[in-house]
Amino acid sequence: MSKVKNGVLLMLLVSALTACGNKDSAGSDTPAASGKAIEFVTTQDSSPLIINAALFDTPAAKEFLATGKNPYIGNAEAEAKGKKIFQLYSCTQCHGPDAKGQVGPGLVGPTFKYPKDATNKGMFETIWHGTNGGMGAKGVGLMDPTDPKNGITPDELLKVIAWIRTQGTVTGNE
Ligand code: HEC
């Protein structure tokens, strides 16, 4: 009887291991595993910044995840939405209604406090995960959970950045 029980346990164990194996091979279809995703780093200390790929849920956000380029640059409709989102998340209060600075610094360049903010990937990382010098993370799931807005999505952030770029001469996609 106990032999049978052991056999059943062994079968369960084998099928559990096989299931894990299947999961791993399915996982290799994700952009990160197939090498099609850029790797994000924090602006604080350049350590790896893991952002759930599922949050990149629009064609533009997926393209950004694959290439690091912001597809909304030069897209007037997206830029207009970005301006509204900039107001909604109170960016205006610190960076001014034209993003040229108020309590916080100007965001239009051509020089930036964090030089990587001259690229759209760099600016995305800075806004998503915040800085050590006075700006908290704005990414969804990272922003103050008591804030009813609960954080900006990748697609929204790309629109915000596209609008910020209209205020200066740097497009960030060079
Ligand atoms: C409470 C005030 C505050 C709010 C709200 C705020 N910021 Fe900031 N932001 C700052 C400060 C202060 C800095 C400078 C941080 C530092 O020196 O580390 C900064 C830095 C930045 C930088 C880096 C600039 C550079 O020269 O490298 C970007 C980009 C930026 N903010 C974008 C945004 C966006 C977009 C929003 C809205 C989603 C936002 N900020 C909301 C205060 C704020």
140 Cα to the center of ligand 1, angstroms: 16
Ligand 1: list residues with CB < 6 Å. Answer: 89-91, 93-95, 104-105, 107, 112-114, 117, 123, 126-127, 131-135, 138, 152, 160
Query: What is the best residue among 88, 94, 144 to mutate for testing ligand 1's pocket, by most ligand atoms within 8 Å of CB?
Result: 94
Q: What is the pTM of this model?
A: 0.84
For 42-72, the pLDDT digits (tens) are: 999 999 999 999 999 999 999 999 999 999 9
pLDDT over 60 (residue 14): no
- What pLDDT does residue 26 have? 41
The 10s digit of each residue's pLDDT in 109-157 is 999 999 999 999 999 999 999 999 989 999 999 988 888 888 999 999 9
Query: What is the per-residue pLDDT across 99-113, written as a single tens digit (0 to 9) for each?
Result: 999 989 999 999 999
Q: Which tokens go with 21?
A: 């194996």
> What is the arithmetic mean of pLDDT over 78-85?
98
> Do 33 and 133 form a contact (C-beta atoms < 8 A)?
no
When pLDDT is averaged across residues 21-31 and rounded to a whole number, the result is 43
Task: For residue 90, give both structure tokens.
Answer: 């109170």
